[in-house]
Structure 1
Amino acid sequence: MQVDVIIPTYRPGSEFGQLISKLQKQEYPIHKIIIINTEVGEFPQMLESEPYQIEVTHIRQEEFDHGGTRNMGASISQADIVLYMTQDAIPADNQLIERFVEIFKSNPEIGIAYGRQLPREDCNIIERYTRRFNYPEKSRIKSKVDLSQLGIKTFFCSDVCAAYRRNYLLSAGGFEDPTIFNEDMIFAGKRILAGDKVAYVAEAKVIHSHNYTGNQQFHRNFDLAVSQAQHPEVFEGVPSEGEGIRMVKATAKYLIRSGQPLRIWNLIYQSGCKYMGYFLGKRYEKLPKWLVLKCTSSPKYWKKS
């Protein structure tokens, strides 16, 4: 099986060099690394002349779309498997590609597989637990029958590190385009409702986390809720609030067990910011345009729509 890695970039930082270096050291050889860079800016020019496996395409800011740009990468690729990664996700070992190949070879019915995200060294305790909550140690294959038990988590998938059979992705119409956010979960949700399966591969690990402020959490959850409101065919009848409450309760218990109960105030604040963003995002159609632009983290999306 040939594997191409597709990475959308925008002003990549120091982690990007680490990502490329770790990809080139993978035990299962990568066919090609496809980089779709929004604006040249501070893009590392050395990568453009790097002969090993790397192909760079530059696009303008107004051309970027969370779904459309990833579809572009799949159309450039000719590989059997396309692995999407973000510019700040670092493979935890040299077996990342191999783990994905193994799941596809051993499960012909699987078209989508996503990996486990581990916290960075500087990750705060709340986000560290969130990583563990969303990305457990045990792998799992999810299908429509899991909706009664897992709820919205059945559709969960993350293009921070997610692999797709390329023909499967394209034949199903690719990612939603345009989309404000959440292209991975929209696609996975549609495929699960159609009777397909999604694999969570805990052995395929990347290091990736963010210490978001409450304000950043608000904006992200606003966009997340907008994406769900725009796709009732996927998310209607599968509420997210219950899963969020479960995570808050589990995190609070973890903070108490860890001897840091005062951090619960920070958890309450951040959870409140998330909920307010989500609450407003679900009702974005009733909001004036100026307020939507204040709430979103993707103002360019609204200018195009």
Structure 2
Amino acid sequence: MRKADVIIPTFKPGDKLEKLLRRLLEQSVPVGRVIIMNTEEKYWDAERFESLFEGEDTKLTVCHIRQSEFDHGRTRHEGILKSDADVCICMTHDCVPYDRNLVKELLEALDASERVAAAYARQLPAADCGVIERYTRDFNYPAVSRLKGKEDEDELGIKTYFCSNVCAAYRRNIYLKLGGFTKKTIFNEDMIFAGHAVEAGYQIAYAADAQVIHSHNYTAMQQLHRNFDLGVSQADHPEVFGRLHSEGEGIRLVKKTAKWLVENGHVLLLPQLVMASGSKYAGYWLGKHYKKLPEGLIRSLTMNPAYWEGEAGDGR
């Protein structure tokens, strides 16, 4: 049986990480190691988290880094380098496996074709998820699995490259062959890798039966900050995002969400949708054009101020 390790970056982890670790230990296909890349040792509760692995076959490795050292791509890459498994599963510390078959379903998705370089899980809304975000989860993570390759670009556009490190499994040999995640990125390291993989002739698998619980109730301002960083990541990687643009997919989501709200008795949420969508687009547009913005404005817009320390992005 192939060995699968799990890599989880953490920062000020809490109850969700404990629940995530407990459910990883209950998987029908056991994981070999859990590799934690923790930001700032002072926030790590060793007694709480490490005690879960006492007497378990799954081993825990914890590596501490400073906040100034964290990078979405490089930190995960360093975790994968610490693994010797056939498959590395990247997860975030705020997602929770829905059932005992998460690892099993991800491995089966990787086995769908020799061309599959990565497989990502379906994200289900948490109990406290708002109405609009609940629909967005269904839009981005439908109930039907599929493979996506270069031959699907005309049909899927930018969604051909969609992949999420909230929960995604990578064939380690292909990952290393392609150079892994970009080593300095503000965001979107998963889609950047997926784009390179597709261009190299590989496929990305969406595994709808591999499920995690993960959602956010972002405010309009938080959406603006998040999408600013998204826009920056796309501006810095025209080799991936230069040909297939995101704007059309975003407009399609807004239209379908508005239609769904009207048809399901949520007309009063339309102003909230307009506010959220406007904030998303404003952040995205500013991020795409960040090279023309003053440094002070950039720092007020980003969710990742540490990224801008020293030389960051493309030429700044």
Specify the TM-score bucket, using the shorter chain as the normaliser.
over 0.9
Give a deviation string over 1:114-157, Cα, whole Å, max 9, x none.
01000000000000000000000000100112111111111100
Classify the secondary structure of the residue corresponding to 1:187.
helix
Q: TM-score, normalised by structure 1?
A: 0.98
Q: Which stretch of the first structure deviates more once superposed, 103-112 or 259-268?
A: 103-112
Q: TM-score, normalised by structure 2?
A: 0.95
Q: Determine which of 120, 123, 126 is the counterpart of 2:129.
A: 123
Equivalence map 1:78-157=2 (5 Å): 78-157=84-163
* Aligned residue identity for 1:207: I
Aligned residue number for residue 38 of structure 1: 39
Gaps of 5+ in 2: 312-316
Classify the secondary structure of the residue corresponding to 1:41.
helix
**8 Å Cα contact 2:86-2:171 kept in structure 1:** yes
1:300 aligns with 2:306: yes
Tell me, in whole angstroms, the C-alpha distance in 2 between the residues paired with 1:69 and 1:178: 9
Tell me, in whole angstroms, the C-alpha distance in 2 between the residues paired with 1:36 and 1:185: 21
Tell me, in whole angstroms, the C-alpha distance in 2 between the residues paired with 1:199 and 1:264: 33
1:178 aligns with 2:184: yes
* Aligned residue identity for 1:36: M
1:242 aligns with 2:248: yes
Equivalence map 1:15-94=2 (5 Å): 15-46=16-47, 47-48=49-50, 50-51=53-54, 52=56, 53-94=59-100
Q: Determine which of 166, 185, 196 is the counterpart of 1:190.
A: 196
Tell me, in whole angstroms, the C-alpha distance in 2 between the residues paired with 1:108 and 1:196: 8
Superposition deviation, residue 107 in structure 1:
2.0
1:224 aligns with 2:224: no
Classify the secondary structure of the residue corresponding to 1:138.
coil
**8 Å Cα contact 1:181-1:227 kept in structure 2:** yes
Aligned residue number for residue 10 of structure 1: 11
Give a deviation string over 1:158-185, Cα, whole Å, max 9, x none.
0000000111111111100111100000
Give a deviation string over 1:36-83, Cα, whole Å, max 9, x none.
100022322123454432111111111111000011111100000000
Tell me, in whole angstroms, the C-alpha distance in 1 between the residues paired with 2:111 and 2:263: 41
Task: Classify 1:221/1:116 alpha carbon distance in 2 versus 1 (closer, same or farther; 3 Å).
Answer: same
Q: Determine which of 147, 153, 162 is the counterpart of 2:168.
A: 162
Tell me, in whole angstroms, the C-alpha distance in 2 between the residues paired with 1:285 and 1:80: 40
Tell me, in whole angstroms, the C-alpha distance in 2 between the residues paired with 1:273 and 1:202: 29
Superposition deviation, residue 104 in structure 1:
2.3
Superposition deviation, residue 304 in structure 1:
3.5
Q: Which stretch of the first structure deviates more once superposed, 275-284 or 103-112?
A: 103-112
Tell me, in whole angstroms, the C-alpha distance in 2 between the residues paired with 1:298 and 1:10: 13
Tell me, in whole angstroms, the C-alpha distance in 1 between the residues paired with 2:64 and 2:96: 22
**Identical-residue share of aligned pairs (%):** 53
Classify the secondary structure of the residue corresponding to 1:168.
helix
Superposition deviation, residue 9 in structure 1:
0.2
Tell me, in whole angstroms, the C-alpha distance in 2 between the residues paired with 1:244 and 1:296: 20
- How many residue pairs end up in the alignment? 305
